[in-house]
């Protein structure tokens, strides 16, 4: 009897280990296959769309200072970028339209200071304007049901920013008395190409670390460089074709640690505690920094599918009824950034 029990337990352990191993191998392989990654993106978009329909973005705002804006902006950008890569989904235009309606709503604007210049501050105008601009320049925009509204609102955002900068270049506040360089870079990125000179002068105003030229996390912080904000800043600067490759390489040297093809990003140069901007920080490795770096690396030709694959595995993905979710649907922000990164990896040179 005891022998049978031991055999039963041993077989159970073998089955469990085999199942976990197969699961991990499958999840790690997703970013290396366009077919699997396409299915993943389809499931992610379907799942997040339904969660936004259920107003889960409102609950996200309670956890993150800008959760509502990030949820709608990054999801809309992911759908737009997916369409530009040939991934066609039913009602893609309506998904983006709904996100934009939320971003332009009075409820969303009420979360920001209407007394700032531009009105509602750099964070709101930057991300909202960036989504509007990306949409207008995409093929998906032809099917939008709110085209006139999108064009009008984009012109309004851009004109507000131009008006603020008409006399002399200045850094814009995101909140009263708070200047965040990353938000200024996003604002900078929505300017038409004809205002390239303004973008360059604006960039020159940003506080930078003397030794590395990396952008400071906060305007008056003795130039603390942070992993998450730096990865985000370098993504937008790269997308604007700024000559920042050398800065990105310094960022990789100082913040990125590669282990077995997986790139982990430090949030702090030395050490520090987690906060809203960093997400969980474990052994000084920032989750937000590492996730953002996935997208930034692809932009600079250093795509790291293994990193996305690792998060795809430890995020414990569930694929049910055509919808994919992570972390038992406990943190939609993770799902959204995973989607944004997946779109960049799709059809990259690293895929098999």
91-103 tens-digit pLDDT: 999 999 999 999 9
Residues with Cβ within 8 Å of residue 167, at least 6 apart in sequence: none
Quote the mean pLDDT of the chain: 91
Q: Which region among 111-115, 206-210, 279-283 has the lowest average model confidence (pLDDT)?
A: 279-283
Q: What is the pLDDT of residue 278?
A: 57
Residues with Cβ within 8 Å of residue 187, at least 6 apart in sequence: 122, 125, 126, 129, 161, 172
Compare 295 and 284 and report the one with higher pLDDT. 295
Number of neighbouring beta carbons within 10 Å of residue 4: 8
pLDDT tens by residue, 332-347: 999 999 999 999 999 8
Compare 248 and 281 and report the one with higher pLDDT. 248
Half-sphere exposure of 246 (CA within 13 A, CB side): 4
**Among 192, 213, 337, 147, residue whose Cα is nearest residue 345:** 337
- In the predicted structure, residue 57 carries a pLDDT above the cut 60: yes
Q: Given pLDDT bands bounded at 50, 70 and 90, which one contains residue 279?
A: low
Residues with Cβ within 8 Å of residue 84, at least 6 apart in sequence: 138, 139, 140
CA angle centred on 291, ends 289 and 292, rounded to 5°: 65
42, 341, 337, 75 alpha-carbon torsion, rounded to 10°: -50
- In the predicted structure, residue 113 carries a pLDDT above the cut 80: yes
Q: Which region among 131-140, 204-213, 221-230, 266-275 has the lowest average model confidence (pLDDT)?
A: 266-275
Number of neighbouring beta carbons within 10 Å of residue 178: 16
Q: Given pLDDT bands bounded at 50, 70 and 90, which one contains residue 211?
A: confident
Q: What is the pLDDT of residue 352?
A: 40
Return d(Cα 237, Cα 253) in angstroms, integer. 18
Dihedral of alpha carbons 248, 217, 310, 63, sign: negative
> Mean pLDDT across the stretch 149-166?
96
- In the predicted structure, residue 1 carries a pLDDT above the cut 70: no
Looking at the DSSP bridge assignments, the partners of residue 323 are 320
Q: Given pLDDT bands bounded at 50, 70 and 90, which one contains residue 28?
A: confident
> Mean pLDDT across the stretch 220-232?
90
């Amino acid at each position: 009897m005891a022998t049978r029990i031991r055999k039963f337990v041993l077989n159970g352990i073998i089955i469990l280990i085999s199942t976990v191993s197969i699961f991990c191998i499958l999840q790690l392989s997703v970013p290396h296959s366009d077919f699997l990654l396409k299915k993943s993106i389809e499931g992610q978009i379907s799942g997040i769309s339904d969660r936004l329909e259920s107003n889960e973005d409102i609950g996200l705002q309670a956890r993150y200072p800008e959760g509502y804006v990030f949820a709608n902006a990054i999801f809309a950008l992911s759908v737009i970028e997916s369409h530009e890569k040939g991934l066609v989904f039913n009602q893609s235009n309506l998904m983006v339209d709904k996100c934009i309606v939320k971003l332009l709503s009075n409820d969303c604007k009420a979360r920001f200071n209407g007394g700032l210049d531009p009105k509602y501050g750099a964070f709101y105008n930057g991300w909202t304007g960036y989504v509007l601009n990306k949409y207008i320049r995409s093929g998906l925009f032809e099917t939008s049901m709110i085209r006139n509204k999108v064009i009008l609102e984009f012109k309004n955002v851009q004109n507000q920013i131009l008006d603020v900068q008409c006399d002399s270049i200045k850094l814009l506040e995101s909140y009263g008395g708070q200047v965040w360089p990353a938000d200024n870079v996003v604002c900078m990125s929505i300017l038409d190409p004809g205002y390239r000179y303004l973008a360059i002068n604006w960039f020159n105003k940003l506080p930078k670390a003397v030794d590395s030229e990396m952008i400071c996390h906060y305007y008056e912080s003795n130039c603390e460089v942070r992993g998450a904000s730096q990865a985000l800043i370098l993504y937008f600067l790269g997308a604007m074709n700024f000559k920042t490759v050398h800065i990105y390489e310094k960022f990789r040297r100082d913040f990125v640690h590669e282990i077995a093809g997986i790139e982990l990003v430090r949030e702090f140069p030395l050490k520090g505690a987690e906060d809203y901007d960093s997400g969980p920080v474990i052994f000084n490795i920032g989750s937000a920094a590492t996730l953002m770096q996935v997208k930034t690396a692809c932009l600079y030709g250093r795509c790291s599918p293994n990193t996305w694959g690792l998060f795809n595995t430890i995020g414990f993905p569930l694929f049910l009824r055509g919808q994919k979710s992570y972390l038992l649907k406990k943190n939609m922000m993770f799902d959204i950034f995973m989607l944004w990164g997946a779109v960049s990896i799709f059809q990259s040179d690293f895929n098999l």
